[in-house]
Chains A and B, each alone.
Chain A
Amino acid sequence: MPATLSRPVKRTPTSPQRVESPLDSVRRFTLAEYQRLIDLGILGEKDRCHLLNGVIRNKMPQNTSHTSAVQKLNRRLSRLLPDEYLVFPDLPVRFPSSDSEPEPDFFVTAGPDTRFDEVKPTAGDVLLLIEVADTSLAADRGEMLAIYAGGKVPEYWIVNLADRAVEVYTQPKGGKKPTYRTRTDYAAGQSVPVVLGGKPVGEIAVSDILPGGN
């Protein structure tokens, strides 16, 4: 492994926050109902929405630094990953554990290419999931982290643009308050190991995906 400037920082993951109480009066949808709304054409491509904990929510518009980081990450991932892996940018993935169907910035599954011709990817298929966070940081560390941990996504990265770091969450713990047992932060100058299904496949330099390089 190439030398890094300093050791990655181990941190205790913050515990996810409970969903706000006003949502208690909102009618929730199951994943199956949500799929039916899509199949019937009631929800379509023009509706920029996703299902989080049974509630249909708007997807946030993306700002420039977010867009740029996603583009850079896309290139790094494509170069790094062998053809046996599939990269899904901004596409839906089902989380039956929480009636959620988010559309993360990226997730990676095993192939082959034809694997998802007939079925939507589900949490159990996901090897790595990445969110690029600017204004969405609190949600990505809270509500989204709980959804991903609840679905036992083994590796969850938050590319934290404000703090110029990549937060890597591992060892998901399900149950009533899903979270990750481990968080490791990588700063500019360091490289994040890409681990898929327990197998290291390479690494991505933090500076290569942050705005302005170093």
Chain B
Amino acid sequence: MAVALAPNGTAPAALPGTNLFRVSVAKYLSMCELGTLTESDKVELIDGILVKKMSRNAPHDSAISRLQFLLFVLLQSSRVVRTQSALILPRSVPEPDLAVVAGPAARYAQAHPRAADCELVAEVSESSLAFDRSQKLQAYARAALPEYWIVNLIDGIVEVYTDPRNRGRNPTYRARTDYAAGESVPVVLGGKQVGTLPVSEIIL
């Protein structure tokens, strides 16, 4: 059975004591546009900090590809499924491993999706698990993204975070439900369950 858990409580403040200069979303987009940051820079903006992305391995890439395939089969052309692509959120421009955004695809030809376009984000986590549960989670909760999945390769589970609370200094999700092998994760988009995905088909 799926286990409902209290979410992790308040996420730790990012990088305490280092007095880092926070880069605004506008400045970050200028850096990309004017070529200060290029595609070879594997970075994303999380709460004003330019964070290097973790290097990926085979289990990580495999899980992304499985998830992308399963969601595509389930959703067909009703939604757009994007992988490792930028989302423009308040104070952050993350590149989640997977995002389900409203269609049609043409609306993102000139501009990245924003928080309001986004119905589900997922991260596949191994070495990045602690970061994905804290700073990343806080960035997604701050943007009030309704559904955040962590495909946790260490424990072989899918953690589903829902009910974002974005007021106050430490945004978080009120609910976390874990799904283990043998269980299926409900896919809830716009408040409606549109299907389920077996954990054993995401994490092989």
List A41-85 residues whose CB lies under 8 Å from chain B.
Answer: 42-43, 47, 49, 55-58, 60
CB neighbours (8 Å) of B50 from chain A are: 26-27
B153 to chain A, nearest CB (A): 19
| Chain B minimum-CB-distance residue to A139 | B19
Of A33, A47, A55, the residue contacting B36 (CB under 8 A) is: A33
Interface residues of B in 19-54 (CB under 8 A from A): 19-21, 23, 27, 30-31, 34, 36, 41, 43, 49-52
Residues of chain B within 8 A (CB-CB) of A42 are: 27, 30-31, 34, 36
Interface status of B15 (Cβ within 8 A of chain A): yes
Q: Which residues of A contact B23 (CB under 8 A)?
A: 56
Q: Do residues B52 and A25 form an inter-chain contact, with CB atoms below 8 A? A: yes
> Is B104 in the interface zone, CB < 8 Å from A?
no
Cross-interface CB contact of B131 among A23, A25, A57, cutoff 8 Å: A25
Contact A36 B15, beta carbon cutoff 8 Å: no
A9 at the interface (CB under 8 A from B): no
In angstroms, how far is the closest chain B Cβ from the Cβ of A85?
32
Pick the most buried of B18, B27, B43: most chain A CB atoms within 10 A of its CB. Answer: B18
- Tally of A-B residue pairs with Cβ under 8 A? 50
Asked if A27 contacts B31 (CB within 8 A), the reply is no
* A57 engages B30 (CB within 8 Å): no
A60 touches B19 (CB 8 A): yes
Q: Collect the chain B residues with CB atoms within 8 Å of residue A20's CB.
A: 15, 17-18
- The distance from the CB of B171 to the nearest CB of chain A, in whole angstroms, is 20
The answer for the CA separation of A40 and B33 in the assembled complex, in Å, is 11
Chain A residues near B34 (CB-CB < 8 A): 40, 42
Q: A31 → chain B, closest Cβ, in Å?
A: 13
Bitwise, B152-193 to A at CB < 8 A (1) or not (0) is 000000000000000000000000000000000000000000
Cα distance A27–B19 when bound, in Å? 15
B36 touches A57 (CB 8 A): no
Residues A58 and B21 in contact in the complex (CB < 8 Å), given A25-B51, A37-B36: yes
Nearest Cβ in chain A — how far from B92, in angstroms? 14
A36 touches B18 (CB 8 A): no
A22 within 8 A of B: yes
Assuming the contacts A33-B36, A42-B27, asked whether A58 and B20 have C-beta atoms less than 8 A apart, the reply is yes
Known: A27-B43, A57-B19, A57-B21. A36 touches B36 (CB 8 A): yes
B15 and A26 contacting across the interface, CB-CB below 8 Å = yes
Residues of A within 8 A of B43 (CB): 27
Known: A27-B52, A56-B20. 13 other contacts (CB 8 A): A20-B15, A22-B15, A22-B16, A25-B52, A26-B49, A26-B50, A27-B43, A40-B30, A42-B30, A42-B31, A57-B18, A57-B19, A58-B20
> What 10 A-B pairs come out closest when comparing CB atoms?
A27-B50, A56-B21, A49-B21, A22-B15, A27-B43, A42-B30, A58-B19, A58-B21, A57-B19, A27-B52
